[in-house]
Amino acid sequence: MGLIGICVRVTINFGGSVLVPDWPDFSWVRSAVNMIRELKARKHDVFVVVGGGKPARRYIEVGRNFGISENSLHKLGIDITRVNARLLSLALGDLSDPEPPLNFREAIQILLQGKVPVMGGTVPGHTTDAVAAMAARASNSDLLVYFTDVDGIYSADPKSDPSARKFDRITTQELLKLVGPKVTPGMNTVLDPVAVKLFERLNIRILVLGKEEISRFPDILGGKKHRGTEILR
């Protein structure tokens, strides 16, 4: 697959499926921290957005059983993403801020201080996939990357469909056909449709990488080949 080349500023989305598959995965969080430390040592600016994972979906499921409104369920999921963001920011120590930013203005202030902003969700209707796309735009990032529990984008869920075909590259229009048109609280797709639509406005490289690439990512950022999927406009 193609090389990324030298990059100065990167926005990273850690999907909940890798950070908190059931509950926080200490080993993977440690790998993420080590990777971010290496990126900072190489003088890269880093902006991080984290998802909610199964804990968020479980809270939303229970709330839905009580007949709670969809808007409130979105807010419930956002709360869980912010707990996850706080965990990662605390694990980063002095590289980050212990208080996850609630909006992009706060996040950019942290970034300009030379630190790593780590944020969760923002407003109902936007998953953290979309938040990451907006963060990349707000921060003028050179690269947007999504780490997931599969090694790229497939024509179907490879966990349940062994005939699923992996894409080395895929356009935003092709991707929209795969993910569908609607965002629902706790939805579990490789990327949500709002994010995919936002990609069309970003003039940057966009990658989806498997969680196994975490230790290789600093070298991928420096130009080494990756095994994921590149999203084209």
**Looking at the domain assignment, is residue 3 inside a domain?**
no
Look at residue 67 and tell me if it is in a domain: yes
167 is a domain residue: yes
Task: Say what the pLDDT of residue 13 is.
Answer: 97
- What is the per-residue pLDDT for 8? 87
Q: Does the residue 185 lie in any domain? A: yes
Spell out the per-residue pLDDT of the chain, length 233, in tens: 445 666 689 999 999 889 998 889 999 999 999 999 999 999 999 999 999 989 999 999 999 999 999 999 999 999 999 999 999 999 999 999 999 999 999 999 999 999 999 999 999 888 899 999 999 999 999 999 999 999 999 988 888 888 999 999 999 999 988 887 665 554 456 788 889 999 988 989 999 999 999 999 999 988 899 999 999 98
Q: Cα–Cα distance between 130 and 163 in angstroms, integer? A: 29
- Of the candidates 205, 89, 86, 84, the one whose C-alpha atom is nearest the C-alpha of residue 136 is 205
Contact 116, 224 (CB under 8 A): no
pLDDT of residue 110: 98
Q: What's the whole-model pTM score? A: 0.92
Q: What is the pLDDT of residue 179?
A: 82
What's the structural domain count of the chain?
1
Q: Check residue 125 and report its DSSP letter.
A: T
pLDDT of residue 47: 98
> Is 87 domain-assigned?
yes
Residue 71 to residues 50, 66, 79, Cα–Cα distance (Å)? 20, 14, 13
What tokens appear for 138 in the block? 């707000």
Taking the C-alpha atoms of residue 221 and residue 44, their distance in angstroms, rounded to an integer, is 10
- Tell which phi-psi region holds residue 135, choosing left (phi > 0), alpha (psi between -120 and 50) or beta: alpha
pLDDT, one tens digit per residue, over 122-161 is 998 888 999 999 999 999 999 999 999 999 999 888 888 8
Within a domain: 26: yes
Q: How many residues does the structure list for the chain? A: 233
Q: Residue 2: what pLDDT? A: 45
The answer to the question of residue 4 being in a domain is: no
Residue-number span of the structural domain to which 41 is assigned: 9-232
Q: Is residue 52 part of a domain?
A: yes
pLDDT tens, position by position, 137-146: 999 999 999 9
CATH number of domain containing 160: 3.40.1160.10
pLDDT of residue 84: 96
